[in-house]
Structure 1
Amino acid sequence: MSDHISSINLTDKKKTNSIQQVRYGCALGAFHSAVAIPRVIPIAHCGPGCVDKQFMNISFYNGYQGGSYGGGAVIPSINASEKEVVFGGSDKLRDLIAASLKVLDADLFVVVTGCIADIVGEDVGAVVREFQDKDVPIVFAETGGFRGNNFFGHEQITKAIINQYVGEYNGPKETGTVNVWSLLPFHNTYWKGDLIEIKRILQGAGLKVNILFGKGSKGVSEWKSIPKAQFNLVLSPWLGLETAKYLEEKYNQPYLHIQTIPIGAKETREFLKKVVDFAGIDTKKVDAFIQEEEKIYYSYLEDFSDFYAEYWWGLPAKFAVVADSAYNLAITKFLVNQLGLIPSKQIITDNPPLKYRNAIKEEYKHISSDVSTDVEFYEDSFIIHQKLREADYSHKPPIIFGTTWERDVAKDLNAKIVEVTFPASYEVVISKSYVGYRGALSLLEKIYTTAIGGSA
């Protein structure tokens, strides 16, 4: 994680090397990526309380998403004590794995490590390989919190499953089949519904889709079929690129990188055209799908236009987005290109690696043909809130797309707020989506319900 930096040194605030109201979890929190695969259960080699804290932060107080099949209170942990620090926890881990195999029904177990195991140099791999040698479906990933955040841990876990469980493959590829690498499970508050919509529109375009995570995934059988896919789709500004590059090297599998997750008809149409063109499949199906979806989409907007024409004078004209890079870029493009709103402040909070930041900035330079804006990278809420207060919103109160932590700032600015990313503690999320055709309509409902009556 040497190419990740902290934003603390960019403020006049007294330097404390601390971050106020951090907007991600530690690398161990990526056990949610394992939980997000149907019938996969993590096993934690960490101290007491580590799993609970990551679950409560990333899943519970972030849309109250629940623990799914193998998360939350289900996750076994060795709850390492001073004894394990001094003498090692291999025996305790070995016993825990054996006990878990007896009482938990899973298609795959993923052992994740915390700071204690990684700092003392515990050979977790040796213990796990004992079970792998007995054909137990189990892998391990080093996810000690000091290594990075849960975005980093996510790619460690995906690579571990691919390398240790999926294994080698030298067979033919299936034309028209795509592996999708996109939103970070659980951390992205609306990931469950978003991935369902992404899969739906890609299938509508004529592709067979390995969505890999969430309710639309077939679980480990889908992961086993990863090497057979024609290509990988990285649908995010940067998350998933390391995995796609690894798959390109391992399976000679090309990848398509599209930075903007599509929201609304314009972006979704352009997105589907790019993917189908890359896949080289017949365009008749995607053309028919787009035509039918846009017919429905714009018929809803025609009804919505009566409201908009009546209330336009009282609606926000400018906006700010404080979110992870995936949702920040997607929402900004949607608001500018399809609603005509004016960007005032865009702040990315997920601390993308330095090597990807220039490419991300460039996207904001070309939000539309006649709109360009800047984006800033901050993790510290003290700085973020200072930036929001200093932004120019002209004579109208803005609308802020952010988190629970922006609610007080919104009140100070007499602004409205829509919680779109971690942590979202005033939202209960079951299957809501904000992407694609259907998600855009839900987002419109949320925006304008908030604008005319929702409290800040």
Structure 2
Amino acid sequence: MKFYSRNITADSLTGAVFALEGIRRSAVIMNAPTGCKFYHSAISDNQYPRQISFDPLNYPETFYFGQPRVPCTYLDSYDYVYGSKDKLNALLDFIHGEDYALVAIVNSPGAALIGDDLEGIARAKLPHTPLLVIENPGFSQSFYKGFQDTLQALLKNLPLVKGLKKKNSINLIGISIFNKYYRGDIEEIERLLKLCGIETNCVLCADTSLDDLRRIPQAALNVILYPELGLDIARYLEEAYGMPYFLFDKGLPIGFDLTEAFLSGVCEKLYGDALPTDEGLKDQQSSFTMELEKARVDAYLHLSRIHSLTGLPRGVTFSVEALSSSLYAYTDFFLNYLGMIPNAIDHIKDDPCLFTDKLRTLLEKHHLEQGLHQSVYEAESDLVFSNGSTIAQLKLKGHAFSGIEIELPSLGYIDVFPKTHLGIKGSLLLVEQILNGMNFS
């Protein structure tokens, strides 16, 4: 039976807002009706908290409506006829004098039809503040397009400083505060790169300063993490600044094998045939190899104990709902390393499908391609890897399974300690979640 209540996915307006909310000390203003702001402010404040108070009474101002982030001009029918200038001026007067590194104004799709000169209005009020105006966030386009188009507009608007190239440095391109575990993802990838003697120059774009963005051309290489959020940006930087980029051909570094392949690929792209001979750097790379092997041993110990008694996790069925880059990497780890069986490999709506062909090849190799034709809502699996909303819907349908969140929206679990499914730490966390998930499904 066809399931008609699939989640509504974020669109290009949301992509634009979260691209800019990922910049440190930014004020992102929505020129939009009140209803457009609540979701964006709630997610941004939860994923990237800057204020110590959660009490809505601390934010009673007209433009904030009890939330600390993403003020809006609360447009109504009058403003759509006579323009939003008066309300925008009032909001700009309210924030004038605050120490913002960037003020960004994002039109809602409806407000884009009004035709106000937002940049002219804002420049008159904030002549000395870095400013970016997104007049048209896209009409019903994808989150990924809105995110990348907005960051390209920002990079074109900033004076990027070329300077001297740092030969052992990279920019990490393609991550957002809308990624569930973005803090842990960044920390783990930066940590592993450092073990290989590689410094991170800039992360585009989550908890990033304008100064970091201005230094982007000084890195020797752009490394794409989530391709759906970074490939177009990397291509722009290659065209505009001659910067090479590395796109991992297996999607994401999930699992021990793909983590090793990802790091090897970055090193090969960065150094080419002139691999460094420095003894200190060799020691660092040796430290990565030793840590990776130790993690394999730790995982094997726990897996072997469970397998010796039950035969699991081999044969455990799973469903995954995500972008194709994530689908490929999760499926490779679960199938090739753990011997689990894919019931449903489900792309989320608006997925650019950059890795769908590779995913199909992987499944056909094991004669399991039927998983690509099954919806996560229809398959009944032992483990479901998806967002909190899908997991909740499946629970309400009476399915017996363990749900493991890999995407937003969340069920509300508060992550005090940064977590990740990427790299070595992420591989161990996944093994832990799977072993415990089998016990409580």
Q: TM-score, normalised by structure 2?
A: 0.83
Residue equivalent to 1:287:
285
Post-superposition offset of 1:251: 1.2
- In structure 1, the residue matched to 2:61 is none
Aligned to 2:257: 266
Q: Distance in 2 between matches of 1:109 and 1:230?
A: 30
Q: Which amino acid aligns with 2:420?
A: S
Partner of 1:307: 305
Aligned-pair CA distance for 1:203: 1.9
Aligned equivalents of 2:222, 2:349: Cα separation in 1? 23
CA displacement at 1:364 relative to structure 2:
0.7
Q: What residue in structure 2 maps to residue 451 of structure 1?
A: 438
Please say if residues 29 and 51 of structure 1, whose CA atoms lie closer than 8 Å, have aligned partners that are also in contact.
Answer: no
1:244-259 to structure 2, matched below 5 A, reads 244-259=234-249
Other-structure match for 2:60: none
Is residue 414 from structure 1 mapped to residue 400 from structure 2 by the alignment?
A: yes
Q: CA deviation at 1:433?
A: 1.2
Task: Give matches, 1:215-230, under 5 Å.
Answer: 217=208, 219-230=209-220
Supply the distance in 2 between the matched residues of 1:131 and 1:160 (Cα, whole angstroms).
21
Where structure 2 has 5 or more consecutive residues not aligned to the other structure, the ranges are 53-63
8 Å CA contact 2:322, 2:348 repeated in 1: yes
Q: Provide the rounded CA distance (Å) in 2 between the counterparts of 1:255 and 1:78.
A: 39
Does the 8 Å CA contact 1:173/1:230 hold for their aligned counterparts?
yes
- In the TM superposition, what whole-angstrom CA distance separates every residue of 1:271-322 from its partner, at most 9, and x where no partner exists? 0010011011527356313322213312422431353234443546221101
> Which residue among 149, 161, 167 is the counterpart of 1:156?
149
Give the aligned CA root-mean-square deviation in angstroms: 3.1
Q: Is 1:93 equivalent to 2:78 in the alignment?
A: no
* Structural mapping, 1:12-411, within 5 Å: 20-25=6-11, 27-28=13-14, 30-56=16-42, 58=43, 65=47, 67-68=49-50, 73-102=68-97, 104-130=98-124, 134-142=127-135, 144=137, 146-165=139-158, 167-169=159-161, 171-186=163-178, 188-209=179-200, 210-214=202-206, 217=208, 219-259=209-249, 260-280=251-271, 281-282=275-276, 284=282, 287-313=285-311, 315=313, 317-353=316-352, 357=353, 359-367=354-362, 370-371=365-366, 374=369, 384-388=375-379, 398-404=382-388, 405-409=390-394
What secondary structure is seen at the aligned counterpart in 1 of 2:394? helix
Which stretches of structure 1, 4 residues or more, deviate above 6 A after TM superposition? 375-378
Aligned-partner residue type, residue 155 of structure 2? I
Task: Return the offset for 1:194.
Answer: 1.1
SS state of the match for residue 420, structure 1? strand
On the 8 A contact 1:44/1:76 being kept in 2, the answer is: yes
Task: Sort the Cα spacing of 1:43 and 1:243 in 2 relative to 1 into closer, same or farther, 3 A.
Answer: same
Which sections of structure 1, spanning at least 5 residues, go unmatched? Answer: 1-10, 390-396
Report Cα offsets for 1:223-273 as digits up to 9, x if no partner. Answer: 110122212112224321111111112212121212521123211111001
The structure 1 residue matched to 2:426, chosen from 420, 436, 439, is 439
CA–CA distance in structure 1, aligned partners of residues 436 and 135 of structure 2: 44
Question: Could you tell me how far apart the structure 1 residues matched to 2:356 and 2:376 are?
Answer: 21
Give the aligned length: 415
- Contact 1:44–1:112 (Cα < 8 Å) also in 2: yes
* Residue 58 (structure 2) aligns with: none
Kindly provide the amino acid, as one letter, of the partner of residue 425 in structure 2. Answer: R
Q: What does residue 59 of structure 2 align with?
A: none
The amino acid across from 1:367 in the alignment is L
Distance 1:386 1:19, change over 3 A: closer
Q: Which amino acid aligns with 1:76?
A: P
**Corresponding letter in the other structure for 2:71:** P
Between the aligned partners of 2:371 and 2:302, the Cα distance in structure 1 is 33
CA distance in 1: counterparts of 2:181 and 2:102, whole angstroms: 25
Q: Which has the higher contact order (CA 8 A, sep 6+)?
A: 1
Q: Which amino acid aligns with 1:200?
A: R
- 2-structure distance, mates of 1:270, 1:368: 20
SS class of match (1:352): coil
SS at match of 1:239: helix
Secondary structure (helix, strand or coil) at the match of 1:154 reads: helix
* CA shift digits 1:141-170 (9 cap, x unpaired): 2454634233222112211221112x2555
Instruction: Tell me, yes or no, if the aligned pair for 2:224 and 2:246 is still in contact at 8 Å.
Output: yes
Structure 1 residues 81 and 47, CA gap change in structure 2 (3 angstroms): same
Give 1:68 deviation, angstroms. Answer: 3.5
The answer to whether the 8 A contact 1:131-1:138 is kept is no
> Contact 2:343/2:371 (CA < 8 Å) preserved in 1?
no
Q: Amino acid of the residue matched to residue 84 of structure 1? A: D
Q: Does the 8 Å contact 2:195/2:284 carry over to 1?
A: yes
Distance 1:66 1:169 in 2: 27
Q: Could you report, residue by residue, the CA deviation over 1:128-153 in whole angstroms, capped at 9, with x for unpaired residues? A: 45467x33122122454634233222
| Deviation of the 1:437 alpha carbon | 0.3
Amino acid of the structure 1 residue aligned with 2:193: L
Q: 1:428 is matched by which residue type in structure 2?
A: I
- Relative to the length of structure 1, the TM-score reads 0.81
- Asked if structure 1 preserves the Cα contact closer than 8 Å seen for 2:174 and 2:205, the reply is no
**DSSP 3-state at the match of 1:193:** helix
Letter in 2 for 1:409: L
Alpha-carbon distance in structure 2 between the residues aligned to 1:331 and 1:68: 32
How far apart are the structure 1 equivalents of 2:118 and 2:363?
Answer: 50
